[in-house]
Structure 1
Amino acid sequence: MSVRVLPTTPADWKLESKSLVCKSIHEYGLACSGSGITREQFILLRTLWVKRSKYQLYGSDRSNWMDNSSFKAAQAFLSSSTIAPTWKQFLKSTGMHPSDLEQQGYDGLHTFSLVRYHQAQSQGLSSEENNSAKVDMSPIAKRTRNRLKQRIAAQSSPTPGPKLTGLEQDLGVLDITDPPPSQPPTTPDRGGSNVLPMTATPTPGDFSSPFEDPGIFKAIQDEQIVNTALIEYLNALAIHCKDLKANWTLHRLPLVTRDNQREKIYEARVDGYLRRRRDGKPLAVIEVKPFTRTRKPDDIRMQESAQMAAWINQYQPSNTDLEGNIKRLLISQDRHQIYLNFAVFDADYVDYICDKQGINYDKNSFLWMYEYGPFDVGNQSDMSMLGELVLGYTLGESR
């Protein structure tokens, strides 16, 4: 059986989207259940992934994502500021084997001491495939019945809508308020899925914790190591740079995609973000995994697509930004490898993902994701390039 790759061109997407019943992610979210993102939902996010090398980003592609003045400022800061000697020592240490580094110690690394410590730990992870869920695509029980009926009734386009014959009747008797016993609890505001019936007597079996699964527990532990390594690296780059008007935070930012009635379609969470000081706006988000990207590349990209789309929906670009293409950055660390994923989209995609009323669903607009990497935390050249690129991008965005 051949494995279907994710679409990389509009033609690929159009071919696969022909078989879908729903016209938008908002319709699908009203009709379907289940946590985690499906391939159909991914197709409805209209995301196209393009893989590029780190050398292309550092060279020919760099001007697509950051202005040259910000990049030069980052280079100057890392090579001539008070942090320069420590930065050089850090880069030198990245070429050492983790066991040799542990034996030698972290003297002289100062700001980067904990960075190297946790980076070395990430290099030693077992790369198991378990990971904690970051995207909840399940519908909200209390709104599903009526909202789906209203949406179908409101469709007045000459183009036939989703073929949901009989679904309205099924929803009249279907109760999805309580998940199956094996399904982990969803977030508290998702329609009371954790609430027991008033007549029920709670028993120990009524409540479950993901920590009971040793695989998930270990994955969460490993993921925290990777997350700490990435956040510390980013903060070590930024903390002494006075021109950077933002801070990296470990806050697991919840991003909620809503339709035009402000009803929740799905929720995605990221592992941290760059927070602009003056207004708290996220300027870049981060996502980590305790295993390498090559183990589950499409699953990771589908999840990151949902996170990026939710970010666009919740933090919509300003009217000034909408005059051209908009860019955003998602930084991923998968075990010991870091990727810079630049998103680019236009006003039509914003209208689509925000469920603007009256839009033409047949007018295709896309969220393009350009994936650059991997940058290896154990490679001196990679860490040098990555530091200049990340600091250059964030300097430009935080102005």
Structure 2
Amino acid sequence: MHSLKNKDLDNLLAKLVDDSITDEELANLEKILDGDVSAQRRYFHYLDLHMDLQERVTRSKVHPKARISIPKWKVVGAAAIFFLWIGFSYFVVDESAGPGSSAIARVTGMDGLIEWSAEDGSIINDLSIGDPLREGTIEGLNSNSWVKMEFNDGSEAVISGISKLKFSQSQGSKVLNFTQGYLSVNAKPQPKNNPMLVLSPGARAEVLGTQFNVVASPQLTRYTVNEGLVRVERINDGSVQEVSSNHYVVAKLESRDEFKSVLLEDYYEEWKSEFPRDVRRGHLYQPRSAQSALSPHRLRTKPCLWVEEGRKPELHFSVNIGVSATGPLPVLINENAKFKIRGRIDTNMFGVDDSNFFIVGFNSNYAHGGFAGKYVTKEKVDLSSKDNNDQFEIEIPVSEFLKVKKDQFKDSLVRSSSAGLELLDLWFVTYQNIGLEIFDAEIILKDE
């Protein structure tokens, strides 16, 4: 975008958030944003930064209910316009550069906000089931995202949650470069001299034909093999393990621990979050105590686009906490388990009162591979007591979570047991910015 146009856009955005924009200027802002990919990205980035700043200023105010505000009608109106552009122009690319050119895979299932991009900068986020995909990078951009791809030879790959997978072909081999999130692969038999290659933080794997799962974070990768055999090499020292069915191996980026394939008989049913290790989305910070010492980390919600097929995109505020996705062992759900959540709601935020609610959800996978579904519940927090410093502690039985059932025209919630499933990650969503902070989350089997 031209620098002069950038300056005009920034001036209008500043007036928007300061509540000084006129109707004429608002119309001019809409005109600038209409059809301009660069301007639209700048708009949303600006709004994101402003909301972060608003939260920090609000926390430092002395007087209760003090707040920097944007009139709700202007934010909703501008956001609605922005969302319409997402559908019609934001990620429009030249047809000749589309994802179907020299396709090596196709989309066979999906939900949430999914983005595909190519080396030449082409981007598209309105993928549909059946769309062909050429070499590129596919990402799940929010907690409820998942996408299933089928390669030309019938091999399948699923990513779920906040995930990033670059896929290509090199000298007859499929190459999957997986840098973040959860990946499940069902690989058809590959040519002996051209195995499927999987690259991830700390590890490199060769696959001839098998079903396996990969959990990747910046610090480590865990390969779990459910069928067949996968050869995994730890990058930092070249150690190699042949991982057979019902075994797993963990490769850490900076570790000299023994690199060994382990029988998959160990798993957790109880779990407690550990920050910053388990942070997948949110603003992580450490408040100072009265003694000027740093307190334990807190994870505060950040703005996000919530996109589901058949629904208009919505601006929500969320945090995402890794469970199996960031831990050394899988966490399986016990039917008698319950979540114990400690946190805070910022009553200095506009619109926050003594009774507030948020959505709690988790993504799950089958214990032996493959995406199993999303489960959600709605939790109400009572802050009527003035002695709790806006803090809360709640317990939610696993049985209260309902499974999201995908239908052609709309979703529905059904009662379906999650017992025995692997819990990938845990997320919290609010429909307005109530300054939700999570101190820690646990899975417990009995009252402590």
- Please confirm whether the aligned pair reaches a TM-score higher than 0.5, indicating the same fold: no
Q: Which has the higher strand share?
A: 2
Whose helix proportion is higher, 1 or 2? Answer: 1
Structure with more contact order per residue of length (Cα contacts < 8 Å, sep ≥ 6): 1
Normalised by the length of structure 2, the TM-score is: 0.26
